Amino acid sequence: MKTLNVTFQELTKSGRKELASEIGRILSENLVEKPTNHNRPDDKETNHYRINLDTDAIFEIVSMFGDLEAGSLGLLNYEPTTAATFYARMLDKWNNLLSYR
């Protein structure tokens, strides 16, 4: 859920309203039901969602997080920062989704 919420926020900030709307739709319509014996049934952090975006949309999200990561690198020698590391993780999550297609 955190990944989708951050993605929604960053898409909105960057003016990609149509793609942000698709992420909002996923959050509201594509929750995967947890098993009845799940140990944390009410914990939103353990929610999973069915991501039904086309490849071009995922590439756009990957590109956005790549730009955010690069823009967050330190000024001297482009050293990693906390923000760059965070955006790199987001980039990896979306990039890994392409491997499952």
pLDDT in tens, 42-75: 777 778 899 999 999 999 999 999 999 999 998 8
Torsion of CA 73, 78, 81, 85, to 10 degrees: 70
Distance CA 9, CA 13 (A): 6
Which is nearest to 6 in space by CA: 17, 18, 20, 16? 20
Query: Considering the entire predicted model, what is its pTM?
Result: 0.88
Tell me the percentage of the chain whose pLDDT exceeds 70.
97
State the pLDDT at residue 77. Answer: 77
